[in-house]
Structure 1
Amino acid sequence: MTIAEGDTLPQAKFKEKTADGPIEVTTDELFKGKKVVLFAVPGAFTPTCSLNHLPGYLENRDALLERGVDEIAVVAVNDFFVMGAWAEKTGGTGKIRFLSDWDASFTKAIGLELDASGAGLGIRSKRYSMLVEDGVVKSLNIEESPGQATVSGAAAMLERL
């Protein structure tokens, strides 16, 4: 079952690469008492993710924070080394949290997995964005095509805020 607006996010653990090594980040640590924009991509370094989706959030970071967002995070079914390298390559380090859902457990728990085996990628996440307040999904925006980043993009999120 796919998560919906008004639902509480399930408990999950992500990995995040830091200067001191990998850390574990729980959903409670990420969302409790905060207003967070979380967006997901099918894969770090993939064309739409790197050329459209992520850059929009980096460019609109300050505008999102000015509208009351405490934190912005991107999640992908990639390992934390890949997510860390993507953060460094795109200039996103320290601006957006780059979270690894390495085993797709979070993605599956919210019902947003994408079988990209036909493209040689295996199980990945659908492209989406959500506004989460204190662990509750306030806005959920799922792309119909993984190659598009319109309803889940930063401009669309700004409109919802």
Structure 2
Amino acid sequence: MDKSVIMDDAAIRRALTRIAHEIIERNKGVDDCILVGIKTRGIYLAQRLAERIEQIESVKIPVGQVDITLYRDDLTHKAEDAVLKGAELPGDITGKIVILVDDVLFTGRTVRAALDALVDHGRPKMIQLAVLVDRGHRELPIRPDFVGKNVPTSRTEIVAVQLTEVDETDRVTIRQAN
């Protein structure tokens, strides 16, 4: 149950700054780009990336969010009267470059669900994936375009991202599951 910190607040800040530069470089600027955070921590990471991109490029990049709860393929059944929350997007995503942002990439199922939610709202020109931590163990053919830190893990370990907006601290820890 020992917990070790693999990223502190400074490491998270540096990783997000690097990802922001990589997004700008890969897309030759941020025209027609939208950041979409996956609920919950991906939303805050997307907002932080938008702030860094604005500092670097002096351009405000739109930020949206997606709630993938009802798109998960690992729920046993979906309620008949479930309210489809889906996405809150800053406009039409058709023809745009959507950069999906999440905290940890593990099996790929969360990202697959987010992709389903996005295409229900339009047809982007391209979807890119930015993650703070890639821990491996993919079950689906999903690969991130932008990675803050690659962390090889065992399936018995838990990678926990804590962000000030939710957890009152910024850090990434790894520990053994109970």
* Class of the TM-score when normalised by the shorter of the 2 chains: 0.3 to 0.5
User: Normalised by the size of structure 1, how large is the TM-score?
Assistant: 0.33
Q: Could you state the TM-score of these two structures normalised by the residue count of structure 2? A: 0.31
Q: Which has the larger radius of gyration?
A: 2
